[in-house]
Structure 1
Amino acid sequence: MNFISTRDNSPATTLSQAIAAGLAPDGGLYVPETLPSARPLELGSDLADTAALLIAPFFAGDALADALPAICREAFDFPAPMLPLATPDDHVLELFHGPTAAFKDFGARFLAACLTRLRKQEDRPLTILVATSGDTGAAVAAAFHNRPGLRVIVLYPDGRVSPRQAHQLGCFGDNITALRVAGSFDDCQALVKRALNDAALQAQAPMSSANSISLGRLLPQMSYYAHAALAHKRATGEALNFVIPTGNLGNAMAAIIARALGVPLGRIVLATNANDVLPKFFSGADYSPADSAATIANAMDVGAPSNFERLRWLYRGDDAALRAAFTASSVDDGQIRDTIRARYQAHGEVFCPHTATAVKVLQDLRGQGAAGDWAVAATAHPAKFESVVEPLIGRTLEVPPALAGLLARPAHADPIAADYSVFREYVARG
C-alpha cells in the first residue's frame, strides 16, 4: 500500500517512509492512497492480536509487514479494560494503564518499535520532535528513552500543563530533552511543523515527528476501539457508540477510520473543552482555527487541530457530509468540575478532567434521548491531575506505581522562546 499527502502535492511513498518522515514534504499529513475496504473483522485473542489483524492491510507489501505482530506485542503489552459505569448501558474504556498513565502510551510505543526496526546501525541519529499539551510528550519520552540512534526533543507550553505532567516531561534525561516554551501548544506545534518542513535543517539533522500527525501514532490507536467494539458486539450483538474527548483530533480520528474499516462502532461524538473550534464547525460555521485558551483539561487545549486535514480527506472535502456524520460539544471548566464532583458524590467514580468532558457530553446525550450502548474514552489517570481532582472529591488519589516511579526521579526542562530561529538552533546542535 502507498501513502500520499492530504495536500496532494507530494509523491506517493511506502508506509515505512511515511512513518520515518512524519510529515509529508508539502506540509500535509500522510494518508493511504486508498482506504482499505470495509470488511468483517475478527476479535483477536488479546489486544495485540486484534491490533495486528486490524492494521495488517496498511502494512501490506511494506518492509515492516513481517514484523507487525512483534511490533504489536511490544506496544500493546498492557490492558485497556472496558468497565461499566453506574448509569445503565454506559461504559468507560480505560486507556491509562501504560507507563505514563495516558492513552498515548499505545501509539508512542508502536511508533518507537517501528522506528527502531527501520534504523540501520550506520544511519545518522534521528531527532524525534514532539509538541505536547500534556500527555504526548511523556509517552513519547518513555517509549524512546535510551533507544540507540534516536533522540527526542519535547516542547510543551510553560505553565499550561499540570505539575505532574511537567515533572514527567522533564524526568527522563539521556537522549530526551524537554523544552518549556513561552507560549501555547499551538506555538509548540507550529515550531515542530516548521522544522519538519525545513529542508536545510533536515539535511543537517534528520528529523521525524511523534505527534498524532504521524501514521505510526495514528494507526495503532484504532486497535483499542476495535477490540472493545468487537468484544461488545460478540457479547451483546450491539454496536458500541463512543464519546471521545479530543484536542488535536488524533484519538478520535483513529476511531473514525476504524469504523470506516468495518469495526462495529455506532455513533462517534467528539467532546472538547472550551476550545470550541470543532463544535463551531460541526454546528455549521466555517472551520476557523483560533488561539488556544488554557483550561483544566489542558491536554485538549488546541486551537488548530492538525488531524482535521485527515478528517476532511476521509470525506473528500464534503463538509456537509462531514457535519451530517458527527457532532461535537464543548464543555467549560465549571462543567468539568461539576461533573467530577457530582459523579464522585453520586457513584464514587473518579475521572480526569479530559474524561470528565466526555462523561458530561454523554450525560447530555442521554438527557436528549440517546439510546443504545455507549462508552467514554478515559484518556488519562486522574492522579496526573491531582491539583484539580482531589479538592473536588475531598480525598487523596492513589498514584499508579509506574507514575510514582517517574515522579520520584529528578526533572529538568530548558526554557525557550516561541521563536523559530531559537528552536532551529537548538535542533541543529545535534
Structure 2
Amino acid sequence: MNFISTRSGAPATSLDDALVAGLAPDGGLYVPASIPPMPALAPQPSLAATAQRVLMPWFGGSRLRHHLGALCADAYTFEAPLRPLSGDGDHVLELFHGPTAAFKDYAARFLAGALSALRQDGDTDTEIVVATSGDTGAAVAGAFHRRPGFGVTILYPEGRVSPRQAHGLECWGDNVRTFRVAGHFDDCQRMIKAALGDHDLRERRRLASANSISLGRLLPQMAYYAHTAIAFHAEHGRTLGFIIPTGNLGNACAAVLARRMGLPVGDIVLACNANDTLPRYFDGADYAPQTTRATLANAMDVGTPSNFERLRHWHADDTALRAALTAVAVDDATIRDTVRAAPGRHGIVPCPHTATALHALETLRASGDTRPWAVVATAHPAKFDTVVEPLVGYPVPPPPALAECLKRPARGTPMSADADALRDVLLAQEEPVD
C-alpha cells in the first residue's frame, strides 16, 4: 500500500518509510493513497485481536506485516471498556487505563514497537521529537523509555498543563529529555514541524515524530473505535455514535478513518474547548486558525489543528466535510458545571476534556436526539486533581501506574519558543546518519 502527502508535493511512499519519516518532505501529512475496505467483522475476543484484524489491510508490503500480531499483543495489553452512564442508556468509552492514564498510550506503544521492528543493523539512534499539550509527551516517553536505539525530546508549553501532567512529562530521565517552552502548544508544534522539515538537520540527526501527525499514531487509534462499534452493533443492531474531545484532531481522525473503512461507526461529534477553530468552521465560517487560549481542558488547547489537513483530503469540499462531522465549543464555566454535576447525573467523575463531551451529549439529548452515543473519556480525572477535586468535593485517587509515576523525581529544562533553540539542542547530541 502506498501513502501520499496531503499537499501533493511529495512522491508516494511505503508505510514503513512513512512511519519512519513522520512528516512528508513537502510538509504535508501522510494519508493512504486509497482506503482499504474492511469486510464485515464479527466481535473479537480482545482489543488486541480487533486491532490486528483492522490494521492488517494497511500493512500489505510492509516489513511489519508478519510482526503485526506481536505488535498488537504488546501495545493493547489493557482494554478500552464501554460502560453505561446513569440515566438514558448512554455510554462512556474509557480510554485511560494505560500506563500514563490517557488514550494516547495505545498508539504510542504501537508506534514504539513498530519503529523498533523497523530498525536495521547499523542504524544510528533515532530521536523521537514530540510536542505535547499535556498527555502525548508522557505516553511517548513511557513507550520509548529505555528502549534501545531511541531518544525522546519532549516540548510542552510551560504553565499550560496540570501539575500532575507536568510531573508525568518530566519524571523519566535516561533517554528522555523534557523542555518547558515559553509559549503555547502551537509554538511547540511549529518547532517540531520545523525540525522535521529541516533537510540539513535530518541529514545530521535521525529524527522521527510521535505526534498525531504520524501514521504510527493515527492507524492504531482506529482499533478501539472498531472494537467498540463492532461489539455494539452486534448486540444492538444499531450504529454507535462517538462524542470525541478534540484539539489536534488525531483521535477524531482515527474514528473518521475507521468509518471510511466501512466499520459500523455512527455519527461523530467533535467536542472542543474555548479554542473554537473547528466549531466556527463546522458552523459555516472559513477555516481560520487562531491564537491558542489557555483553558481547563488544556490538552485540547490548540488553535491550529494539524490533522485538519487529513479531514480536508478525505472530503471533496467544505460542504462534504461539514456534512460528515459536527463540532461544539464548551467554555470553562460550562466545563466546571459539568464536572460538578457529573457524579450525580452520569455516575462518573470526568476529567475536564471528557466533560466537554458530556456537555455535548447533554445538549443533544435536550434537543430530542435519541440515537445511541458514547462519550469518549480521554484521560483519567486524577491527572487534573487541582481542577476536579474542588468541584466534586472529594479526592480522586490516581490509578496505580500514575501513582508510581508521581513518586519519581521530575526535571525539565526551559526553552524559548524558537525553532533554532530546538535545532541547537538536537545538534548538541549530533550523531551522523548513515
Q: Is the TM value for this pair above 0.5?
A: yes
What percent of counterpart residues are identical?
Answer: 59
How far residue 399 of structure 1 moved from its aligned partner, in angstroms, is: 1.0
Q: Read off the aligned partner of 2:390 and give its amino acid letter.
A: P
In structure 1, what is the equivalent of residue 285 of structure 2? Answer: 285
Matched, 1:382 2:384: no
Partners of 1:27 and 1:369 in 2: CA distance: 43
Matches within 5 A, 1:57-206: 57-206=57-206
After TM superposition, the structure 1 = structure 2 runs for residues 30-429 of structure 1, keeping only pairs within 5 Å, are 30-316=30-316, 318-429=317-428
- Aligned equivalents of 1:380, 1:289: Cα separation in 2: 25
Tell me which moved more, 411-420 or 32-41.
32-41
Contact 1:42 / 1:53 at 8 angstroms: preserved in 2?
no
Q: CA deviation at 1:41?
A: 2.6
**CA–CA separation in structure 2 for the residues paired with 1:8 and 1:42:** 37
Residue 39 of structure 1 and its aligned partner are, at CA, apart by 3.2
8 Å CA contact retained: 2:342, 2:349: yes
**Counterpart secondary structure, 2:262:** coil
Moved more, 320-329 or 94-103: 320-329
What's the CA shift for 1:347?
4.6
Q: Distance in 2 between matches of 1:103 and 1:305?
A: 18
Deviation at 1:234, TM superposition (A): 1.1
CA–CA distance in structure 2, aligned partners of residues 103 and 347 of structure 1 = 21
Letter of the 2:396 counterpart: L
The yes-or-no answer on 1:13 pairing with 2:19 is no
Q: Deviations over 1:269-322 (max 9, x none)?
A: 110000000000000001001111000100000000000000001113x10111
User: Counterpart of 1:294 in 2: which secondary structure?
Assistant: coil
SS at match of 2:248: coil
Deviates more, 1:342-351 or 1:304-313: 342-351
User: Secondary structure of 1:128's partner?
Assistant: strand
**Distance of 2:161 and 2:280 partners within structure 1:** 25
Q: Give 1:87 deviation, angstroms.
A: 2.2
* Secondary structure in structure 1 of the residue aligned to 2:106: helix
Match in the other structure for 2:432? none
SS, match of residue 376 in structure 1 = strand
- Aligned mates of 1:244, 1:330 — CA distance in 2: 12
Q: How many Å apart are 1:120 and its aligned residue?
A: 1.9
Cα distance in structure 2, aligned partners of 1:407 and 1:121:
37
Q: Which has the higher mean CA deviation after the structures are superposed, 343-352 or 228-237?
A: 343-352
- Does the 8 Å CA contact 1:41/1:262 hold for their aligned counterparts? no
Q: For 2:129, what is the secondary structure of its paired residue?
A: strand
Instruction: Please report how far the alpha carbon of residue 37 of structure 1 lies from its aligned counterpart in structure 2 after TM superposition.
Output: 2.7
- What's the CA shift string for 1:131-155, capped at 9, x where partnerless? 0000000000000000111000000
Task: In structure 2, give the amino acid aligned to 1:193.
Answer: K
Please tell me the residue identity of whatever aligns with 2:108: A
The answer to whether the Cα contact below 8 Å between 1:44 and 1:53 also exists between their aligned partners in 2 is no
How far off its partner does 1:38 sit?
A: 4.9
CA distance, structure 2, for counterparts of residue 105 and residue 288 of structure 1: 31
**Aligned-residue CA RMSD (Å):** 0.9
Deviation at 1:35, TM superposition (A): 1.1
Offset of residue 119 of structure 1: 0.9
The CA distance in 1 between the partners of 2:345 and 2:37, in whole Å, is: 44
Mean CA deviation greater in 322-331 or 338-347: 338-347
CA distance in 1, matches of 2:343, 2:290: 34
| Residues in 2 aligned to 1:346 and 1:226: alpha-carbon distance in whole angstroms | 28
The gaps in structure 2 that reach 5 residues or longer are 430-434
CA distance in 2, matches of 1:44, 1:90: 23
Does the residue aligned with 1:336 lie in a helix, a strand or coil? helix
> 1:423: Cα distance to partner?
1.3
Letter in 2 for 1:398: P
Contact 1:89 1:372 in 2 (8 A): no
Kept in 2, the 8 Å contact 1:38–1:260? The answer is no
User: How far apart are residue 262 of structure 1 and its match?
Assistant: 1.2
1:97-147 CA-partner distances (Å, limit 9, x unpaired): 000000000010000000010112310111100000000000000000001
2:342 & 2:163 partners in 1: Cα distance? 24
CA contact (8 A) 1:76 1:106 kept: yes
Q: Distance in 2 between matches of 1:99 and 1:405?
A: 10
Which amino acid in 1 is paired with 2:384? F
Shift of 1:353: 0.2
Q: Which amino acid aligns with 1:204?
A: R
What one-letter code is carried by the residue in structure 1 that aligns with 2:177? T
Give the match's secondary structure for 1:328. strand
Deviation at 1:40, TM superposition (A): 1.8
